[in-house]
Structure 1
């Protein structure tokens, strides 16, 4: 711009002095004319180049003659500022077109250009009619006279509103990304192709228990579980350069060594420094723990079911105790377990090794059997369960001569668990002992499980002892003289009858346990579902014992069940004749009444203060066949509807009662109350 102005100024000066040179020689005039034409051509070419550049850039030009205080805008410049084409513009009207917040900065930039000769470069908002404020950028420079005084400014102005809008959107987008990156609940980490951390958000830091500075000095290899690293590395290598993504479940390691299960999605992108990998990790530890807990509960219930079935059927003492020891090792996670039979006398003679699991018998043959030491003694005296996270740190350990602890070469034991096996009579039959070479293996839950196994083992061992005694008595009676044969036969029949009745009881217990195991989600639910039903079975068994296992009166069964249920009172009305139930029907019917009473208290007529239960029965005889019909009717309780799923009680009724020959159960979910009709064959 300044070159064009200088060319115009020089041309004007030559035109002013041309008349004074009329006396020069012709040759000089010719030279002046040629020079003039060259200057004019150069000026024209410069103006044309400037015009093309300005038009190409959609720029407006401006010129400010400070001497005349004349401010000249090109048509494009006027349009950018919203001035009409015929407008006369001065510096003040120019400033008034600017946004109030931009006027001071713009004026300061003009002053710097005039005072210090600095290039004029400023961005401001100008008001344009119909389009509001728009961002413009002006650039220019100043010229000075020989004394250094500014005499003019000139430059260009152009629209940068779209650029400013794009920058604003980019800034807002980056701000949103930064907020999302730092505030999102999922962990986000950016790594280079070598796996080194480049960026991590606070959630990722919290997930791994490390600070941002710590993580930026590490790589994925440093925080990934060693077992998951091969798959993670292989999938990441396949990802490089492919522009795809993958997702996997893996474990991170926190600073404290704890494992964190995550579902991580990994993808690639490129920035100015090259390829980057971004990992989005969601903590799924809670879900994994729940899955593991469910698998563990399923495994435990499977062992308990298998062991319960074996204990119910097995009468061989050696196989029984070996199976219990094996189950204890499996349940507890012990490296080895043993059962020692209690044969110690008052002087503390050795106990007898009865069963061993998880270790060869040779591992004990070279060492003396345990004595009445501070650790072993309480178990054989029935003093309760002994559990130690580390026997080497236990004050009871190493107090007995001659070894003052474990002899050399003994199986390594740090975690220790000992549970007494106590008969129904209170006799300590022996003890279950479990060990592990690592400290802290046996938890309170394991202690409870093994305690339950020990209680079942005690019952089974009592039964096995009884069976063995019966068998020995039968064998002994078979060798006596002829006159004792009848007594031997009666004893044999008694033993078989006892075994038959015991099997029936255990079958019902098995049904209760299996039904509860299929529906219970936790061991606590399992215990709750089984506990009160076993108690009901025990009450019924007491009635049978009082009747010599010949049977029991129906009234007695009902009275025992209703008295055991709190809250029934006189709201349960019974009516019917005296009926003696045969022994095989006592337990199933008692269990059925127990389930109905419990259900009424939870959901039916006994769950409020106004409901009532009517229980009526009658005995019918057709020829030699006698049947019992019993009707259970509930009234006054909450409205009844057909349940969506069959409950535990319904399953038990079908499994235990309806499976009896000649028995039927009809259930009606009437709106006013539940109705159940039983038909049982008495002969």
Structure 2
């Protein structure tokens, strides 16, 4: 505030004080009556006359409660409100919306009453919402008795002065940041209350902002749009956190220039807070770190690619190399193609593309992409920054644009003076390919080429080893190599399995192999090995031994065939091939057992047939009748044999026995029905039940329910608990047939049913001749399992 302004302000304060005292005197003597809020029209007029004399400072008079009483013309000029718009309203309206909650006017009035005046430098608000910086004071007005009758606020617009001050401070701050960041690229200064960022040309260029507009000031949003979409949310959140708490802002992120180029920047700044804790200024600087970032990415890519590859086949390694090239260089597509013998066409073999882009495929005519391109390809490397402008590709620009590529690098492989392979790198926009990028491309390709050659040699060796391994696997053989001098033993996976050794378990003869040899075979095996190690002994050995698994304890039979290697007459190594022959040996034993079983069953079957023949033919009234009955019984026995054969003569399902036994007696129609749970019978029980059902069905067809058209047979069985085991209840019931009369004597069929079933099921068989129909009930123990040899003698006893 200048000296003249200060003297005018002092004079105005004195005049206001005189007028205040005069008003009090007039009011006390009754010369003034009426008025608004304690101020008469006369006193307001006097204030307005006084305030109108001050033209460069806003003078605002309030009552003790802070309501505006008088408002001079300078206040209207500065704030934009006319006096009639504000008189009678709280003076708090001149403060910023975010400051009103703290009631700054009340704090100023309290300070003014306490100290005689309250100084206040802050940002205020105009009627149109814009903001300006003001310096002012608030002084109390008192009556004759010293009581406060109101306040006078005096302020001036100091926005430009404040901005100059902030700019000076920012310049100093930018200088400090320049010292901190040796590769300084651009600077900014954000005046937060006005939301205006002042930035230099280099900063603006990084964010795609017009340089002139950046110099005159733009809001924060103009620069947020210049941050890469993938980083925008993260950086915006970091800015908000810094503004809220103050302090240092520091981050690495990507920006997008006007030409679409993506740059990596390192930004560092500081947010300054006012004495009231509100953000006022946020200056800083950015460093373009794109070059360093790209170098780091290229180094990381080479590390990932690895000196030894590690990606399996050469084709996998090549595709991985293409992938790394594309991602690291941030280009559109990378691929390779083979060239036909005429060097006219290129056929795409493999390609990596950025997400969302359709890969190239099939055969392409080279000349379509430029009539001079083939000649350029023969030179080894072709670099084109803009296919539309380069003479090599200009006449094929339409073909390039059709595939979305405007910049490219082609590298070729020539053999026998002919183009063989083209490696291509394309980008969707014109691009300046740097020497570092080209060097990186060469390095990746050199590694890929070296790896491919190495893999070819390795594959040749692997194929040889694979053939040997396949031969071993086909023979299910494993191998081990025992160094007698060092005690080192090496064995393959198959050998470990044969000896029950874990995949990660250390291998040695005393600790690993010897305990796995069956104790009964151990001395014999070691004696054989000692003979082969003797200088005058046969170096070859071939033997069978048993091994015992360490964890499961299973015994395996192993065929070991090996040789003792001697050097200077001394045994130094034992090399051996082993094969698990457990299944083969078990198969031999099963074959022997099956042969014995077959002999046993053939004898039993012949005995059974002989018994059936004797009993049937002996009791037949004629040879023809006997032959017919015998054939039927033999057929029933054959059906049961068929079922048992399917289960290797171990057991048979009861329903299958019933179905097969009744098949020749009309079992498929509805006259014979059966029902019951799924249970299995032994071989003996199955044969006995089949013969019994045949006899019952034959008897029913001759004399019982099946002898006319109305009769039916119902077969039912169930399983229930028995004495320590399960028990079977099976019933044959004939209904709706002719009246039944018990026979005067029992024939072979009846005795076969009653005696054979009772014997084979170890239960009871009851046949009841009800007039309504025959009922045969079997009650047996399902766990009975006698020797099959009993069957023929049982039949012969019937």
Q: Greater Rg, structure 1 or structure 2?
A: 2
Tell me, yes or no, whether TM beats 0.5: no
TM-score computed with the length of structure 1 as normaliser:
0.28
TM-score computed with the length of structure 2 as normaliser:
0.24
